[in-house]
Amino acid sequence: MSENIERRRFLKGVGAASLIWGPMGCTSVEDDSSNTNKPHYVMVFDQNKCTGCGECKLACNTANNLPEGKSKCLMEHQSGGVEGKACPHCGKDKCNCERKFVRVSCQQCKNAPCVSVCPTGAAHRDPKTGIVTMDKSKCAGCKYCIGACPYNARFINEDTNVADNCDFCLSSKLSKGELPACVQLCKYDALVFGDINDPNSYVNKLLAVKDSVRMKPQFGTEPSLRYIPVVKLGV
Ligand code: SF4
Ligand code: SF4
Ligand code: SF4
């Protein structure tokens, strides 16, 4: 199965359940109060602000030196279509129909099945940051991690034949003291990144006042990616 098809399946799975308040449950900054000695890096995607421009995807491709057209983060057109396709309502590429987008990428689970099943230690948690990442030299290409991920968020890099996931640009940006590439490039402030265990961080303060949801909490993976769903104001 090609990467594109696999990742579209991921889109479908996430989209079907995405940003629905009931089964997701609201989360808040208090969720992380039990472990304040270590950093816990989280990313927040605010659906109210995302325009679906796709700059984050391009930034990811460049920053992580991925094969042409590939990215560790995708944008799903939540009202039914897929990025790059015509509007499902009117069929036009540009229209006035309502459009909502949702980020699709590794959820950076606190309980990460991809790490548990990896027989070689290639998929692992960085001891300093706690971020789920890869030791590419150890990867056997067995794809166990891909099968174990409930979000279909992993893929094989066709250039290297090694499994990969979004690790918040751990080596390409964070190690240099920079924000993840997608966060840097988003002009609409739809992406926020930081240490939720730092009481002075913006992300801590944001999630203290904004309700957010996690994808598929029933799997017990405790994702570190938070979503602020579109809120429609009454008239
Ligand atoms: S760059 Fe920002 S606004 Fe554009 S698609 Fe990505 S998250 Fe949405
Ligand atoms: S979303 Fe998938 S790839 Fe990412 S940490 Fe969770 S199980 Fe691993
Ligand atoms: S494909 Fe690589 S990272 Fe995934 S389980 Fe196999 S050895 Fe581990």
Contact of 107 with 153, CB cutoff 8 Å: yes
- The answer, yes or no, to whether any atom of ligand 3 lies below 6 A from the CB of 28, is no
Over residues 199-210, mean pLDDT: 96
Closest residue by Cα to atom 3, ligand 1, is 50
How far is ligand 3, taken at its centre, from the CA of residue 210, in Å? 36
How far is ligand 3, taken at its centre, from the CA of residue 205, in Å? 36
List all residues 6 or more positions away from 95 whose beta carbon is below 8 Å from its beta carbon.
87, 89
Residue-level pLDDT at 10: 35
How far is ligand 1, taken at its centre, from the CA of residue 186, in Å? 5
- pLDDT, one tens digit per residue, over 80-117 is 545 566 666 667 766 666 678 999 999 999 999 999 99
Which ligand does the CA of 75 lie closest to? 1
- pLDDT, one tens digit per residue, over 109-140 is 999 999 999 999 999 999 999 999 999 999 99
Over residues 147-151, mean pLDDT: 96
Q: Where exactly are the structural domains of the chain?
A: 3-228
Nearest ligand 3 atom to alpha carbon 156: 1
CATH number of the domain at 3-228, out of 3.30.70.20, 3.40.50.2300, 3.30.565.10, 3.40.50.1980? 3.30.70.20
Nearest ligand 3 atom to alpha carbon 141: 1
Over residues 20-37, mean pLDDT: 43
Residue-level pLDDT at 47: 94
Which tokens sit at 151?
Answer: 């979000």
Neighbour tally for 59: CB within 10 Å:
21
Which ligand does the CA of 221 lie closest to? 2
Contact of 112 with 154, CB cutoff 8 Å: no
How far is ligand 2, taken at its centre, from the CA of residue 77, in Å? 22
- The answer, yes or no, to whether any atom of ligand 3 lies below 6 A from the CB of 163, is yes
Ligand 1: list residues with CB < 6 Å: 50-56, 75, 101, 185-186, 188, 190-191
- Give the torsion sign (CA, 5, 97, 212, 43): positive
Over residues 14-41, mean pLDDT: 49
Residues paired with 164 in a beta bridge? 155
- The answer, yes or no, to whether any atom of ligand 3 lies below 6 A from the CB of 227, is no
**For the residues of the chain, what is the DSSP string, one character each?**
--HHHHHHHHHHHHHHHTT-HHHH--B-GGGGTT--SS--EEEEEETTT-----HHHHHHHHHTTPSTT--SEEEEETTS-BTTSPPTTT--SS-SS---EEEEE----SS-HHHHH-SSS-EEE-TTT--EEE-GGG-----HHHHH-TT---EEETTTTEEE---TTTTTTGGGT---HHHHH-TT--EEEEETT-TTSHHHHHHHHS-BB-S-GGG----SEEEE---PPP-
Residue-level pLDDT at 77: 79
Closest CA to 43 of 83, 7, 73: 73
Ligand 1 pocket, mutate which of 47, 48, 56, 179 (most atoms under 8 A from CB): 56
Residue 161: φ, ψ to 5°? 60, 35
